[in-house]
Amino acid sequence: MRILSGIQPSGSLHLGNYFGALEQFLGFQEKGAELFIFVADLHALTTTKNPEELKKNIFEVAAAYIALGLTSEKTVLYRQSDVPETLELNWILSCLAPMGLLERAVSFKDKTAKGLEANVGLFNYPILQAADILIMQPDKVPVGRDQKQHLEITRDLADKFNSAFGETLKLPDPEIPKKVAVVPGTDGEKMSKSYGNTIELFADAAELKKQVFRIQTDSTPKGQPLDYAKCKVFQIFKLLANEAEETDLAEKYRNGEVGYGDAKQILLDKILEKFGPARAKFAKLQKNPGEVEKVLASGAKQARAEAQKNLAAIRKKVGLDS
């Protein structure tokens, strides 16, 4: 089974990214799925206008994926821009896409409502996303419920192509986890870069501690029982802990054995324990960027071979083959 997904290089990865997507990717890899994962650098151009920042973010996302366990032996990891065939398919799909289909895209409305520039790239985002997917012909695409509409647009465009030119493009199915971990941010809202409330996986030790201790709590003093069910510190801890650790900390909350400062330190220690090996590998990759580039180059070679094969069939169907 072929699985495809991508992530925008828009900043350092955080706990929300890990539990929302990366943990799932590692599970697919462990099960032996044919996994294609790309760094969506072309998509990032819709909002990022600083070339040095973009380069840094691309490297950090790729290095983070490798550090957390995605391997070139089992996963095709590549930059979106290293597969130019995607852009040709993007144009072909654009010539099939009704304006109304894009005007109904919730993502465009949400982003412009938040003040992002309503540029053509942002408007056409779902078509390029469809090209990213269809050029690799995956069976399934992992998506959150908020991204399901974009995959429906992909399926609509594939269906339009097949109706116009004959069966060519596979209609991928959404892979929506039955239970998605909602990771609270330091302010209690959903953890998101756009909210500035993240706990970053690869922040240095001092910054990581600041982020953890920034988690909002109430004013209950140490020695008094705490309501673990309502505590954001505990909610994050339980995502990382085993059942015995979760039960033990819950008991300490009930008995007033820990204050919020103690709980935050326990959480920090757990993060460092869980991601310690990945953090060490990430630091090593930062000193040896050529290793990351080697993985991306290998992934680009494999991804382009697949894209060229599929594009050749598409070009033939539409009459562009020589």
pLDDT digits (tens, 9 = 90+) for 148-194: 787 999 999 999 999 999 999 999 998 877 766 689 999 999 898 87
What pLDDT is attached to residue 148? 78
Residue found under tokens 């009704």: 98
Q: How confident is the model at residue 103 (pLDDT cuts 50, 70, 90)?
A: confident
Given a contact cutoff of 8 angstroms between Cβ atoms, the answer to whether 146 and 21 are in contact is: no
Please confirm, yes or no, whether 230 is among the known catalytic residues.
no
Q: Which of 190, 209, 238, 252 is catalytic?
A: 190
Please give the share of the chain, as a percent, with pLDDT higher than 90.
80
Length of the chain: 322
The domain segmentation of the chain, as residue ranges, is 2-181+289-318, 203-284
What pLDDT is attached to residue 150? 79
Please confirm, yes or no, whether 190 is among the known catalytic residues.
yes
The CATH class, in words, for 203-284 is mainly alpha
Q: Which CATH number fits domain 2-181+289-318: 3.10.50.30, 3.40.50.620, 3.40.50.2020, 3.90.1300.10?
A: 3.40.50.620
Q: Which of 74, 148, 193, 209 is catalytic?
A: 193
Structure tokens at 267: 């959480």
What pLDDT is attached to residue 146? 64
H/E stretch holding 66: helix 51-68
Distance CA 239, CA 288 (A): 32
DSSP lists the bridge partners of residue 77 as 37
Q: How far is CA 171 from CA 20, 40, 54, 177, in A?
A: 24, 21, 32, 19
φ, ψ dihedrals at 186, nearest 5°: -65, -20
Q: In what order do the strands lie in the sheet with 173-175?
A: 75-79, 34-39, 2-7, 140-142, 173-175
What pLDDT is attached to residue 152? 93
What pLDDT is attached to residue 179? 64
Q: Which of 111, 264, 270, 317 is catalytic?
A: 111
DSSP lists the bridge partners of residue 14 as 200
Per-residue pLDDT tens over the stretch 208-228: 999 999 999 999 999 999 999
Averaged pLDDT for residues 113-127: 82
Q: How confident is the model at residue 42 (pLDDT cuts 50, 70, 90)?
A: very high
Q: Is the pLDDT reported for residue 131 higher than 90?
A: yes
φ, ψ dihedrals at 231, nearest 5°: -85, 125
Please confirm, yes or no, whether 148 is among the known catalytic residues.
no
**Residue 71 CB neighbour total at 10 angstroms:** 12
Q: Is the pLDDT reported for residue 110 higher than 80?
A: no
